[in-house]
A and B are shown apart, each in its own frame.
Chain A
Amino acid sequence: MYVAVKGGERAILNSHKLIAEERRGDPSLAELTIEQIAAQFKLAVDRVMTEGSVYDPELAALALKQAQGDAVEAIFLLRAYRTTLPRFAVSAPIETRQMDVRRRISAAYKDLPGGQVLGPTYDYTHRLLDFELAANGGVGEPQAEAADEPLPDLMPPVLDILDREDLIEQEIADRENEPVFDLTRESMSFPAGRDQRLQNLARGDEGFVLGLAYSTTRGYGGAHPFVGEVRYGEVAVEITPEELGFAIEIGDVSVTECQMINQFQGSKDHPAQFTRGYGLSFGHGERKAMSMAMVDRALRAKELGEDAIHPAQDDEFVLSHTDNIEAVGFVTHFKLPHYVDFQAELQLVRKLRAEHAARHEMKEAAE
């Protein structure tokens, strides 16, 4: 179908012009700036960074602008961009324990050291449209209250409380110098280790991971999770450049962490103990971090001696379908020309119909 390709060139160029016009919208309105998107569509930007797997608010904002706000298309653009860059280093694991907390809540303990810090949350807002935001001139410059004292430098993780009593399984680093699975360099393999699963879930589509998490509590997993803690804030990123030979901090990233407490396990050899699920996202992404924590726990089924019978407990099913860029690539490729394939199918269907009709006629003639 070479002829069609030639004829398509002009159409493609014109389509680019048309999308540019559509993207810009009404030219009598001011054009959105990247800075505005980064500042005022922060949660959309954070989602694009998490699933695009590149922390860079400006790039994520640019991607959202280019994609007319389509998150998955923006994620695609970010993933494509990252392939053009060299990797300088791998950071030391970030210390979420040392986070500069902006929000930190627990659904397991009301009174916990450091307190419940609501931070910027929609949790307690009335979900009613706020027409002040639509009013001419907008809302001006709202000022948040500031307490006299900052929060303590260190807010120990809530799960430490259970840890001290040995009521929850410990999370110990015992593979410190072993290679860490990297989905950006290795292809998926099964059964997948927890490192592979956590990276996959962190990059995974929020909607899909949310749906899976939901399934574990609605008859397909028997989960009964408690949010031990959700915390959001800044952590330092540290690398050791080869030419320096010592560790330096290169900045801070915002992350959301969820520690999920799950139903206890007990056996002849082990006294009952709560188990953990863990979620982490770039920026402020509680829905994602919570969903990830629930699916992380579900995927630990085999390791914890549970029957793995539900979709969310099946690592091959979950990990093969979380990535929205791969999913989009496969699903939308059906839009591309399949003219020859379709002609072949068409001929086959015509042939089958002809045979069917011939059989029918013979049968009628026989009767």
Chain B
Amino acid sequence: MAMTDATRMHHEHKAGAASTDERKSWMGVLARAKRDELEAAWASLPSRPAHSIMRAPEIGLVMVRARAGGSGNPFNLGEMTVTRCALKLAGGAVGFGYVQGRDKRRAELAAAFDGLLQDDSRRLELLKDVIAPLAAAQAARRDERSRKAASTKVEFFTLVRGDNPK
């Protein structure tokens, strides 16, 4: 999932133009970031470039698809709310933000960071100072949830788990 990808990306990133995979990864991390995390990260930037709004934050829906039987043909499960925003930085880069829910500020901040991250001269620093900590926080939340679930794993004491079905 994106969080692991983002963590990996943090270790592998290099100078030069960002690849699509890298951008996908940071956009996934930004989409999952909480509002106050994004605000704090934005406030802590040494400099914030001027930007103009291309598409003001807008609330809409995404139809979530699933598959019959988990692996079969697609069907429409139901929609989810999404907010999107596009803005243009002074340097010319266009940032896009797509976040779940109806928080316009979150979408705007996600778009601003996406724009900034396209700046080759700032990317490494931003990946290190903003994206990596956000990804780590997301991974930590996920890990805690998973460990709580793991505490409810049934331990059958007469059998060795995983032996039966092969």
Measuring CB to CB, which residues of chain A are less than 8 angstroms from any residue of chain B?
49-50, 53-56, 58-59, 82, 85-94, 96-98, 100-103, 109-120, 144-151, 153, 157, 159, 161, 171-176, 180-184, 194-196, 198-199, 202-203, 233-234, 236-237, 239, 241, 243-244, 246-253, 255, 257, 259, 276, 278, 280, 282
Are the C-beta atoms of A97 and B71 separated by less than 8 Å? Answer: yes
Are the C-beta atoms of B76 and A111 separated by less than 8 Å? Answer: no
Chain B residues within an 8 Å CB radius of A89: 62-63, 82
Chain B residues within an 8 Å CB radius of A92: 65
Other than A54-B80, A198-B75, A250-B31, give 13 A-B pairs with Cβ distance below 8 A. Answer: A55-B79, A85-B81, A101-B146, A102-B149, A116-B154, A117-B149, A151-B150, A157-B70, A172-B71, A173-B67, A251-B31, A255-B66, A255-B77
* Shortest Cβ-Cβ A-B pairs, 5 listed: A171-B69, A251-B100, A150-B146, A147-B150, A55-B80
Are the C-beta atoms of B69 and A118 separated by less than 8 Å? Answer: no
Are the C-beta atoms of B81 and A54 separated by less than 8 Å? Answer: yes
Chain A residues within an 8 Å CB radius of B86: 243
Complex-state Cα separation, A64 to B62, whole angstroms? 22
A273 to chain B, nearest CB (A): 14
B143 within 8 A of A: yes
Partner-binding segment picked from B36-44, B117-125, B156-164: B156-164
Are the C-beta atoms of B79 and A54 separated by less than 8 Å? Answer: yes
Could you tell me which residues of chain B, from 123 to 166, have a CB within 8 Å of some CB in chain A?
Answer: 142-156, 159, 161-165
Are the C-beta atoms of B76 and A183 separated by less than 8 Å? Answer: yes
Q: Is the interface of B mostly helix, strand, loop or mixed?
A: mixed
Known: A54-B61, A239-B98. A150 touches B143 (CB 8 A): yes
Are the C-beta atoms of A175 and B73 separated by less than 8 Å? Answer: yes
Chain B residues within an 8 Å CB radius of A56: 80-81, 101-102
B78 to chain A, nearest CB (A): 4
Chain B residues within an 8 Å CB radius of A276: 69
Chain A residues within an 8 Å CB radius of B73: 173-176, 180, 194-195
B60 within 8 A of A: yes
Are the C-beta atoms of A278 and B74 separated by less than 8 Å? Answer: no
Chain B residues within an 8 Å CB radius of A176: 73-74
Measuring CB to CB, which residues of chain B are less than 8 angstroms from any residue of chain A?
1-2, 4, 20, 23-24, 27-28, 31-32, 58-82, 84, 86, 96, 98-102, 142-156, 159, 161-165
Are the C-beta atoms of B24 and A53 separated by less than 8 Å? Answer: no
A195 to chain B, nearest CB (A): 4
Are the C-beta atoms of B70 and A96 separated by less than 8 Å? Answer: yes
Are the C-beta atoms of B96 and A244 separated by less than 8 Å? Answer: yes
Are the C-beta atoms of B75 and A85 separated by less than 8 Å? Answer: no
Residue of B nearest to A51 (CB): B78
Are the C-beta atoms of A282 and B71 separated by less than 8 Å? Answer: no
Chain B residues within an 8 Å CB radius of A278: 68-70, 72
Are the C-beta atoms of A249 and B147 separated by less than 8 Å? Answer: no
Are the C-beta atoms of B1 and A236 separated by less than 8 Å? Answer: yes
